[in-house]
Amino acid sequence: MTPKNILLTIILIPLTVFLVAFIVANRQIVTLTLNPFWSSSQSFTYQAPFFVWLFIFFGLGIVLNSSINWFTRCQYRKDLKKK
């Protein structure tokens, strides 16, 4: 095994154990209502386990942060191309 594979294994095993424990601890069903004015309306109401909502919004945060970072660095890339 290469040192890179050993390091990857050392990182992934505890991360996997943590994620499995996190999923088991957050199995309760949570309702997400996207209509703030009529919360009793079922038209924009979704139910899923809590960990699913956390992973969805964590992923959206990563995508949003990456896209904002990419667009802000676009001007720097243009300047470097001109040189």
Give the residues across from 32 on adjacent strands: 46
- Whole-number pLDDT of residue 42: 81
- Whole-number pLDDT of residue 77: 82
The full 3-state SS of the chain, as one line of letters, equals CCHHHHHHHHHHHHHHHHHHHHHHHCCCEEEEECCCCCCCCCCCEEEEEHHHHHHHHHHHHHHHHHHHHHHHCHHHHHHHHHC
How many domains is the chain built from? 1
- Whole-number pLDDT of residue 65: 96
Q: pLDDT tens per residue, the chain (83 residues)?
A: 799 999 999 999 999 999 999 999 989 999 988 887 876 778 888 999 999 999 999 999 999 999 999 998 888 888 888 87
Q: What is the pTM of this model?
A: 0.68
